[in-house]
């Protein structure tokens, strides 16, 4: 997809090389397929957590698989010329936030994660989530980052943060299962330092990605005038 020179964002908002963006968008359907495979794997990976979670709360459990699903939908809708600003915003927020939060906890608590995951799985989880961040920076090429879409997405992730770490509903926290948190505990494990570190990362990343989305919108508006 050709982009006018005036539409080129500064590197801090669009960190991927332009040639890499062009190549990825040329093979958008391949990226859609990869994300759908990743989504299927993610739902399988969460199968035990689903089993212990009330069905009504399932949408707030598989954060990463939902992010890759939205990325697949975002690219697919763009390819068929029916783009959705809300889908684009969900894809951008989810892939950057979860793409960074997962490596953050994997590296911070690597001993705990390596105790339950073989090294190849650990490396796969680390690399695949960093790839989620990279693909999110394709979205600025075809999205306006509308205020309404950002507001809807922020509302979703604010509620997600709330039930994950602060006000659990229907049985307990619904964040990704962490090896240093007792999944059978009725009360939040917020009195543990490790839990607080994981929660802090999620909150900071939610704030940061909101700023990033708004800054991208502002810059696109500035250079289009």
| Greater pLDDT, 91 or 49 | 91
What pLDDT band is residue 90 in, cutting at 50, 70 and 90?
Answer: very high
User: Around 42, how many Cα atoms within 13 Å sit in the side-chain half-sphere?
Assistant: 22
Residue indicated by tokens 């859609």: 32
- Give the list of residues 6+ apart from residue 16 with CB closer than 8 angstroms, or none: 24, 134, 137, 138
167: helix, strand or coil: coil
Q: Where are the domains of the chain?
A: 12-220
Running DSSP on this structure, what letter comes out for residue 60? G
Per-residue DSSP letters for 16-30? S-HHHHHHHHHTHHH
Strand partners, 172: 169
pLDDT at position 193 is 75
Minimum mean pLDDT range among 38-42, 186-190, 194-198 = 186-190
**Torsion sign across C-alpha atoms 63, 178, 136, 65:** negative
The answer to whether 50 touches 61, Cβ cutoff 8 Å, is yes
Reported as a pLDDT band with limits 50, 70 and 90, residue 224 is confident
User: Which tokens hold the place of 128?
Assistant: 């695949």
Confidence grade of residue 167 (pLDDT, cut at 50, 70, 90) = confident
4 band by pLDDT with thresholds 50, 70 and 90: very low
Q: How do residues 101-149 score in pLDDT, each as one tens digit? A: 999 999 998 888 888 889 999 999 999 999 999 999 999 999 999 999 9
Structure tokens at 205: 């990343």
pLDDT for the residue 103: 96
Mean predicted confidence (pLDDT) in 35-55: 89
Which of 66, 8, 77 shows the shortest CA–CA distance to 219?
A: 8
Residues 97 and 205 sit within 8 Å (Cβ to Cβ):
yes
- Residue 190 pLDDT exceeds 70: no
* Token duo for residue 106: 């994997």
Backbone angles phi, psi at 82, to 5 degrees: -135, 55
Q: Bridge-partner residues for 169, per DSSP?
A: 172
The pTM is what? 0.89
């Amino acid at each position: 997809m050709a982009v006018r020179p005036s539409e080129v964002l500064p590197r801090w908002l669009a960190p991927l090389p332009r040639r890499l963006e062009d190549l990825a968008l040329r093979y958008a359907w391949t990226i859609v397929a990869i994300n759908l495979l990743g989504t299927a794997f993610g739902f399988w990976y969460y199968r035990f957590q689903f089993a212990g979670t009330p069905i009504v709360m399932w949408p707030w459990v598989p954060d990463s698989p939902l992010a890759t699903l939205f990325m697949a939908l975002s690219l697919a809708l763009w390819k068929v010329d029916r783009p959705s600003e809300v889908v684009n915003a969900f894809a951008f927020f989810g892939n950057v936030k979860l793409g960074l939060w997962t490596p953050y906890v994997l590296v911070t608590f690597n001993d705990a994660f390596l105790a339950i995951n073989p090294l190849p799985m650990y490396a796969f989880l680390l690399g695949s989530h960093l790839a989620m961040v990279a693909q999110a920076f394709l979205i600025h090429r075809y999205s306006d980052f509308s205020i309404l879409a950002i507001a809807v997405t922020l509302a979703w992730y604010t509620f997600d943060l709330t039930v994950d770490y602060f006000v659990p509903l229907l049985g307990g926290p619904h964040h990704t299962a962490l090896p240093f948190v007792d999944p059978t505990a009725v009360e939040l494990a917020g009195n543990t330092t490790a839990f607080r570190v994981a929660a802090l990362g999620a909150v900071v990343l939610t704030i940061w990605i909101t700023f990033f989305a708004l800054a991208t919108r502002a810059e696109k508006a500035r250079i289009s005038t």
